Amino acid sequence: MGPVPRTLELFYDVLSPYSWLGFEVLCRYKNIWNISLQLRPSFIAGIMKDSGNQPPALLPRKAQYLRNDVRLLGQYVQVPMHLPKDFFSVILEKGSLSAMRFLTAVSMEHPEMLEKVSRELWMRVWSRAAEKAGMSSEQARGLLEKISTPKVKNKLKETTEAACKYGAFGLPITVAHLDNQTHMLFGSDRMELLAHLLGEKWMGPVPPAINARL
């Protein structure tokens, strides 16, 4: 038997474009590195409030920088990222609570579909995501009915609180459990450092085995 896979937890919110970038990179490496990737849907607004942080949209210069940064990073990481014109109003007004409760319900009822449904939530309006990910309409309706249940609400709250306990002040964060130590890495641009901690090889955001399929 080979070495036991190291556990990586990815805390993310579909409202965060940087979460999508980190999500895709880690999903590409999960079968290359000796890791066990655990996807942890979280609520970014709760983390912001707990840490005293603010969304970039509240600071005009950050908002302007983010638009260009996300566009360039999307090209580099090969993620089809196109921010809607009303992206920042969505952050401030609509938020992501329902979407993250939906993903929490998916993680509880159909964990094998969490990766696909999460991806579709970034790519489409979340009410269409389940069908695109291969989930039946009956399954989707069942999950939608559960997003307001105490069980789902409490699970999302617990996951968000866990991220806060690790020291999160935004998303994504990747938590690596290595040799009885816990390392919390913020953002989608710490993959080289993560590879170093894991003792693995970093081959860029699109490793050769994946690049051949894209």
- Which positions are catalytic? 16
5 CA to centre of own chain = 21
Place of tokens 């919110």: 13
Question: Counting Cβ atoms within 10 Å, is residue 72 exposed (0-12), middle (13-18) or buried (19+)?
Answer: exposed
CB neighbourhood size of 65 (10 A): 12
Query: For the chain, what is the radius of gyration of the CA atoms?
Result: 17
Phi, psi of 50 (to 5 degrees): -65, -35
Contacts of 148 by beta carbon, 8 Å cutoff, 6+ apart: 101
Beta strands in the chain (DSSP E): 6-12, 35-41, 173-178, 181-186
Give the Å distances, CA to CA, from 147 to 11, 48, 72, 151, 209: 19, 22, 35, 9, 37
